[in-house]
Amino acid sequence: MPIAARHVKDQSPVLPPLPALVVRRTTSPVLMSSLQQRRVDEMIERLAAGHRAYVAWYDGEPAAFGWVATKGASIGELGVRFTLPERDGYLWNFVTLPQFRGRGIYPRLVDAMVRAEAPFADRFWIIYAPENRASGSGIARAGFTNLAELSFDGSGRAAVRAIIRGGGSAAAALLAVPELSDALSLCSPC
């Protein structure tokens, strides 16, 4: 899984405007529950834990959503729980609804979230599945740089490997997992 980051001082991406698109933060657990088809109490728990939700509205309809963690997060499929350093944010759980895909909403949502959260964070992290090429492309268009990859070591423990110089150590420090120079396994002991 690539680990990408963007610092607020990094050059902002140049994305042509989408006049029909508006991105707003929401504190409505009911709206997020409806969009995600999850229980309202789960959304209440996320909000209480310091996660902030954003919705991209296209022509007045909810088209996509995403979350920013402000204190800590977990990557369930890898068994990784981490605390965010002060002034870091972790972007996660993005979905563009099927009828709105292919319009360039995702990179604009990610960029809008970084801009909205800039008063509270200097660096933003995002992790995505390597097979999700659309997500990887959108993240790059939003100005993020892949720093490291996250997967498993030979013993089935989460670990990172640098993609660019210094990226592995930064990602390892964030996630509190070891940095390896060897290739990582694609799955926990298969």
Cα distance between residue 178 and residue 190, in whole Å? 20
Q: Which residues pair with 125 in a beta bridge?
A: 5, 90
What would the DSSP string read from start to end of 75-113? EGGGTEEEEPPTTEEEEEEEEE-GGGTTSSHHHHHHHHH
* Residue 2 · residue 167 · CB < 8 Å: no
pLDDT range class, residue 29, cuts 50, 70, 90: very high
pLDDT range class, residue 99, cuts 50, 70, 90: very high
What pLDDT is stored for residue 149 in this prediction? 92
What pLDDT is stored for residue 186 in this prediction? 66
Residue appearing with tokens 């991209």? 56
SS3 of 47, please?
helix
The answer on pLDDT for 133 being more than 60 is: yes
Cα distance between residue 12 and residue 24, in whole Å? 19
Q: How many Å separate Cα 85 from the centre of its chain?
A: 16
| More confidently predicted of 152 and 190 | 152
pLDDT range class, residue 187, cuts 50, 70, 90: low
Element (H, E) at 134: helix 133-141
Q: Which tens digits make up the pLDDT trace of 63-91?
A: 999 999 999 999 887 788 999 999 999 99
Q: What is the mean pLDDT of the chain?
A: 92
* Residue 11 · residue 144 · CB < 8 Å: no
Please name the residues in contact with 89: beta carbons below 8 A apart, sequence gap of 6 or more.
68, 69, 70, 114, 117, 120, 121, 123, 124, 125
Angle at 86 between CA 176 and CA 158, to 5 degrees: 15
Report the 10 Å Cβ neighbour count for 40. 14
Cα distance between residue 179 and residue 164, in whole Å? 13
The answer on pLDDT for 14 being more than 60 is: yes
pLDDT range class, residue 190, cuts 50, 70, 90: very low
Task: Record the pTM.
Answer: 0.92
Cα distance between residue 22 and residue 112, in whole Å? 9
